[in-house]
Amino acid sequence: MSPASSEGSPLRVGYVLKKYPRLSETFILDEILGVEAAAVEVAVFSLRPPDDGHFHAQLALVRARAHYLPPFGGASTMEALQLIPALPDGSERLGRVLAFAGSLRPERRAGLLVQGLHLAKLVGEHRLDHLHAHFMTIASHTAYVAHLLTDVPFTVTAHAKDIYRSEVDVRVFREVAAAANAVVTVCEANRRYICETLLGAEAARSRVVRVYNGVPIGALTAGSAGREPGLVVAAGRLVEKKGFHILFQACRLLLDSGTPFRCVLIGDGDQREELAALRSRLGLEAHVEMAGAMPREEVLGWMRRARLLVAPCVTARDGNRDALPTVLLEALALGLPVVASTVGGIPEIVDDGSEGLLVEEGDPEALAAAVARILTDEGLCQRLAAAGRDKALARFDRAQTIPHLVGLLGGKGPGRLPVTVPA
């Protein structure tokens, strides 16, 4: 039976995103496709236009239309202000919005007000039953403003940078969480951190729901034939928390030990020049290829050829860290053994010695030893590959994770409960 609104029509959900589509956010693409497959009518509201230059082929499968909210400035601001007189209880609602906006950084306030007003208008035009935002930052703040203006219920998925970074404003986090029907997060490690650090354990027990990101297992074929001996693949944005500088140090150790390997790093980001310079200093140009960003199917093609995937994630200096890297879920589904660090929710993906090998973060010697072990032990590779496929089917199949999320979007969740907002 498909989910339905209170009037019996299909559930209509608006996804509120900072930027859509985004090459690095395959988890959002997978989620929207899964929610649409569950007979939910989806509309996407993006605060920013895309700027990646690459797009995943699966975007063509998304039925939802993307709407780009007008930014602050010019005609869009006047249009937003003209909506205020039509608000029911307009002055009271606007007062709550202005109070919330006043708690944010000054440079964010006007844009939030304008885009929140436009989103509130679109909620009515699309007859939306619910809003769902990804990341407990500007997207969730905009959904919250629309909620204050229209009473439409909303939920938020919190991921990593919006939880762990030192600049996270706990007061703002708590206010938005208190108004949301639920705060969804993608791993148990996140849930514990939110409970204990951001919301306070007593409130968080009923506020926060863990729903693993799911991947389309059926669309990922496992084919271990044709794997290239010694081929090591890593994929992700070139940012500090991905730990690729640790991978390069481990590659130098592998080279010094005489272990045959070839490493392909897929992705782009702020650390490209820094990593390229490190590769040069370590004398790895002939052994480590920096392949740049590429669409998902090309990444999966490399993963189907590889002997193993490495995710050497670390805790960044600002506290940011990975929670549930999608590339690890895809590796398990493909029967690709992994070597990863014990950051965030990674131990919930990989049991050490079962689907892959785990090492402590920031330890290039341990990382190199684990990589060498998998590269040189065929029996271990086969055992890890088989266990990985089983784990992916049991825990991370989109067909199993989406129904739980759709239930929350349809109101079958913890509901809004009081959360103390500190002064």
pLDDT band at 416 (very low <50, low <70, confident <90, very high): very low
The domain ranges of the chain are 12-214+399-409, 217-396
Section 15-43 average pLDDT:
96
Mean pLDDT of the chain: 92
Q: What pLDDT digit, counting tens, does each position of 217-262 carry?
A: 988 865 545 789 999 999 999 999 999 999 999 999 999 999 999 9
Instruction: Compute φ and ψ for 54, nearest 5 degrees.
Output: -125, 145
Question: Under CATH, which number does the domain 12-214+399-409 receive?
Answer: 3.40.50.2000
Amino acid letter, residue 68 = Y
Residue-level pLDDT at 107: 92
Quick check: 309 and 235 in contact, CB under 8 A? yes
Q: Is 86 exposed, middle or buried (0-12, 13-18, 19+ CB in 10 A)?
A: exposed
Residue-level pLDDT at 417: 34
How many residues can be counted in the chain?
Answer: 423
Token pair of 270 as six digits: 């702020």
Residue-level pLDDT at 205: 74
Task: Among 25-39, 43-57, 299-313, name the one with the lowest average pLDDT.
Answer: 43-57
pLDDT band at 5 (very low <50, low <70, confident <90, very high): low
Residue-level pLDDT at 418: 33
pLDDT band at 7 (very low <50, low <70, confident <90, very high): low
Partners of 423 in beta bridges = none
Residue-level pLDDT at 2: 47
Residue-level pLDDT at 81: 81
Task: Among 9-13, 200-204, 263-267, 371-375, name the one with the lowest average pLDDT.
Answer: 200-204
Instruction: Compute φ and ψ for 332, nearest 5 degrees.
Output: -60, -45
- Complete DSSP assignment for 298-321: HHHHHHHH-SEEEE-----TTS--
Residue-level pLDDT at 220: 83
pLDDT band at 129 (very low <50, low <70, confident <90, very high): very high
Residue 51 has pLDDT above 80, yes or no: yes
Q: What pLDDT digit, counting tens, does each position of 137-151 carry?
A: 999 999 999 999 999
Residue 421 has pLDDT above 50, yes or no: no
Higher-pLDDT residue of 82 and 47 is 47
pTM: 0.92
Residue 136 has pLDDT above 60, yes or no: yes
Residue-level pLDDT at 203: 65
What percent helix, strand, coil does the chain show, rounded to 5? 50, 15, 35
pLDDT band at 423 (very low <50, low <70, confident <90, very high): very low
Residue-level pLDDT at 411: 84
Specify the CATH class of 217-396 in words.
alpha beta
Section 72-81 average pLDDT:
80
Quick check: 152 and 130 in contact, CB under 8 A? yes
Q: What pLDDT digit, counting tens, does each position of 252-285 carry?
A: 999 999 999 999 999 999 999 999 999 999 999 9
- Complete DSSP assignment for 219-276: GS----TTPPTTEEEEES-SSGGG-HHHHHHHHHHHHHHT---EEEEE---TTHHHHH
Residue-level pLDDT at 375: 97
Amino acid letter, residue 102 = G
pLDDT band at 88 (very low <50, low <70, confident <90, very high): confident
What gap in Å lies between CA 32 and CA 41, rounded to an integer?
Answer: 10
